[in-house]
A and B are shown apart, each in its own frame.
Chain A
Amino acid sequence: MADTWSIGKHAFTSRLLVGTGKYPDFPTMQRALVASGAELVTVAVRRLDLSKTGEASLLEWIPKGMKLLPNTAACFTADEAIRTARLGRELEMGDLVKLEVIGDRRTLFPDVVGLVAAAEVLVKEGFTVLPYTNDDPVTAKRLEDVGCAAVMPLGAPIGSGLGIRNPYNLRIIMETVSVPVLVDAGVGTASDAAIAMELGAVAVLMNTAIAEARDPVLMAEAMRAGVEAGRKAHLAGRIPTKLHAAASSPMTGLIGS
């Protein structure tokens, strides 16, 4: 049976979600998106530059068949995030939103109070809400309680590439909530993505690690392989760690014995 997962009414096979920001150019982004195998890609909502209305749109470079996940990035209040989510829905004509309410410019850590408040409003308006949140199990539970379809704790600050800084909290979050847990932000390289999946994340969302790699297309392939490897390792069940050796070759039948 295929190893699929779902959020709300949407089912996916790929467990790698990717962003569309920070690429050197649209053609590179397009090749990286294809290489990633992602089915869900994030996009931001911004004021249209009214002096450049004839320019190529981002959407023309997103491969057909990829579903858009509008975000509320750079919103610092619940109200801004709610308005941005509504505009995103009007643009996308879908129900999915990656909800961000940011609390601090330097770290881009979420304002979890505003996040829960915004999530509650958007769920009531029929949105399928995927909140970007801290690695805090209590907040994750609050987000589930107000009706979020998933929770997306950070591995490390957005764009930092620091990897999975608190694997124990992520595991506790996965134990605590019954909605899908996606690790969003902080991944630097393929092993980070694999670690997130080994911990039991349903999927991993990343942008900078691919877009700002020296070769974004090759890194997208690496991330895809890392996510798949981590997922398989999670399903396979790793051995317990031991302090001392456990020989792989027989200790008997040695010559000269």
Chain B
Amino acid sequence: MQVRLNGELREVPEGVTVAGLLGHLGVKAQRVAVEVNDAVVTKDRYESQRIGPGDSIEIVAFVGGG
């Protein structure tokens, strides 16, 4: 299914959970925060929350800043 991931359209496995998506992308869950359709997904929901077709997902991390 197609989702918008960090602003770009991407194919991800059908019905994947947030945890599954991070694994699929090779991202370490403890270093990132995830937003689905403008709402933060807390880490305790990574295993249960499923991504749907057309969802908008942001995966962010800390970078240098002032």
Residues of A within 8 A of B (CB): 19-23, 29, 42-48, 50, 53-54, 57-59, 68, 70-71, 73, 83, 86-88, 90-92, 158-159, 185, 205-208
B66 near A58 with CB under 8 A, answer: no
Q: How large is the interface on B (under 10, 10 to 19, 20 to 34, 35 or more residues)?
A: 20 to 34
Q: Beyond A45-B33, A50-B5, A91-B32, is A19–B66 a contact (Cβ under 8 Å)?
A: yes
Q: Beyond A47-B59, A59-B31, A90-B43, is A71–B64 a contact (Cβ under 8 Å)?
A: no
A19-B64, A58-B63 given; name 18 further pairs at CB < 8 Å: A21-B64, A21-B66, A23-B64, A44-B63, A44-B66, A46-B63, A47-B58, A48-B27, A53-B25, A53-B27, A68-B62, A83-B40, A86-B40, A87-B35, A90-B34, A90-B43, A91-B61, A91-B62
Q: Give CA–CA (A158, B66) in the complex, Å.
A: 9
A87 near B58 with CB under 8 A, answer: yes
B62 near A43 with CB under 8 A, answer: yes
A42 near B6 with CB under 8 A, answer: no
Question: Among the listed B7, B33, B40, B65, which residue makes an inter-chain contact with A44, where contact means beta carbons less than 8 Å apart?
Answer: B65
Q: Give CA–CA (A44, B63) in the complex, Å.
A: 5
Q: Give CA–CA (A88, B62) in the complex, Å.
A: 8
Q: Give CA–CA (A143, B52) in the complex, Å.
A: 39
Residue B9, interface by CB 8 Å? no
Residues of B within 8 A of A54 (CB): 26
A48 near B32 with CB under 8 A, answer: yes
B31 near A57 with CB under 8 A, answer: yes
A44 near B62 with CB under 8 A, answer: yes
Residues of B within 8 A of A45 (CB): 33, 60-63
B64 near A48 with CB under 8 A, answer: no
Residue B11, interface by CB 8 Å? no
Q: Give CA–CA (A73, B34) in the complex, Å.
A: 18
Cβ distance A22 to chain B, nearest Cβ, rounded Å: 7
Q: Which residue of chain B has its CB nearest to the CB of A185?
A: B66
B65 near A90 with CB under 8 A, answer: no
List 30 contacting pairs A-B, 8 Å CB cutoff, sorted by A: A19-B64, A21-B66, A22-B64, A23-B64, A29-B64, A43-B62, A43-B64, A43-B65, A44-B62, A44-B65, A45-B33, A45-B61, A46-B63, A47-B7, A48-B27, A48-B60, A50-B59, A53-B26, A58-B62, A58-B63, A86-B40, A87-B33, A88-B62, A90-B34, A90-B43, A91-B32, A91-B61, A92-B62, A205-B66, A206-B66
Q: Give CA–CA (A138, B50) in the complex, Å.
A: 46
